[in-house]
Amino acid sequence: MQDERDVLLGLYRQMVLIRRFEEASAKAYSQGKIGGFLHLYIGQEACAVGALAALEKRDYVVTTYRDHAQALIRGTSARACMAEMFGKVTGCSKGLGGSMHFFDAENRMLGGHGIVGGHVPLAAGAAFASKYRGDGAVAVCFFGEGSATIGAFSEALNLAALWKLPIVFICENNEYSMGTPLERSLAVADVSQKALSVGIERDRFRCTDVLEVRDRVAVAVKRAREKNEPTLIEALTYRYRGHSMSDPGKYRTQDEIEARKKDDPIARAEASLRGMGASDDELAKINASVEAEVEDCVKFADESAEPDESLIEAFNYA
């Protein structure tokens, strides 16, 4: 068994990569190199990193438009991710998808979807296919608490429970659906209770300790893989940035944000690593290698070619 310290070092690197990658994205957005919408995951890193650490390569991942972290963790290169946002043909969706639509068939990353909640049935569909073929793959679906109020989510939850599909629903509850705090959108603030209405298992925890996230998601993944039983997990988290780059964030106070930053998942992992005996040098090396990777991916995206006009129609039909 891999040493837990090495595992945590790996997960720490993933979290740092996501954060540095997204900081570089925000900079590129402000320089006009990235267009459209850009939704940052900063602050929520332990959720995707911990959850995906519980998966196997054959498993499926489906997420929302806040999708950079999931793609990077699944193995899409930082180059392909950054180039996608720059709208370049070297991007993971050939520059046709953009920030919200990262896809990577090889790594079973089924997207990056822009319609709130609309992707939840798709994830159940991947789980349906897995059960149909009996291939043992599990589907993991990420969505915000803002998706918990739309019909597609409720329908998919019921169908997954009814048909016993191998799926883990992970509600990344970051407390705000765009600018609306959850107490103004959810009649019951505890999203995990929706599991009770369809008779499936649930879990609810704060996403600060990446190893705890991994372990608790692993229980649900095992339940899905071995018993075809879905689980609804409510991962309590917080985004430090606005809903998207165009969000000035006037609906919450700076004090609130600063208070939440004290519970930072990367700082938490760093403290744990030090407790496990990781040295300054070791952590500095990881940070330096991440910075080099991010610098390289921005350069790569900058220098890559635009997609040819012929791609406008090329992929509409198979």
Partner 1 sequence: MRELRYREALREAMAEEMERDERVFIMGEEVGHYQGAYKVTEGLLARFGEKRVIDTPIAEEGFAGIAVGAAMVGLRPIVEFMTWNFSAVAFDQILSHASKLRQMSGGQFTVPIVFRGPNGAAKQTGAQHSHAMETFYAQIPGIKVVVPATVADAKGLMKAAIRDENPVLVLEDERLYGTKGEVPDGDHVAPFGVAAVRRAGEDVTLATWGKMLLPCLDAAEQLAKGGGPSCEVIDLRTLRPLDHHTVVESVRKTGRLVVVHEAWPYGGPGAELVDRVQREAFDALDAPVLRCTGRDASMPYNKKLEDLTIPDAKTVLAAVRAVMAY
Q: Under the rule (CB under 8 A), what is the footprint of partner 1?
A: 60, 62, 91-97, 101, 103-105, 110-111, 113-115, 118-130, 132-133, 151-152, 154-156, 158-159, 162, 313-318
Q: Shortest Cβ distance from residue 37 to partner 1 (Å)?
A: 14
Select 16 or 152, whichever has its Cβ closest to partner 1: 152
- Within a 10 A sphere around the Cβ of 10, how many other Cβ atoms? 13
| Sequence-ordered strand ranges (E) for 52-187 | 60-63, 109-112, 139-144, 167-173, 176-177, 180-181
CB of 149 to partner 1, least distance (A): 14
Minimal distance, residue 257 CB to partner 1, in Å: 32
Shortest distance, CB of residue 232 to partner 1, whole angstroms?
15
Q: Which is nearer to partner 1, 82 or 182 (CB)?
A: 82
Residue number with CB closer to partner 1 (20 or 113): 113
Centroid of chain to Cα 251: 24
Give yes or no for a contact between 168 and 138, defined as CB atoms under 8 angstroms apart. Answer: yes
Smallest separation (angstroms) from partner 1 to the CB of 152: 5
Nearest CB to partner 1, comparing residues 255 and 313: 313
In the sheet where 201-206 sits, what is the strand order?
109-112, 60-63, 139-144, 167-173, 231-236, 201-206
Nearer to partner 1, 62 or 171 (CB): 62
Strand partners, 60: 139
**Residues 163 and 199 sit within 8 Å (Cβ to Cβ):** no
Residue 128, amino acid: F
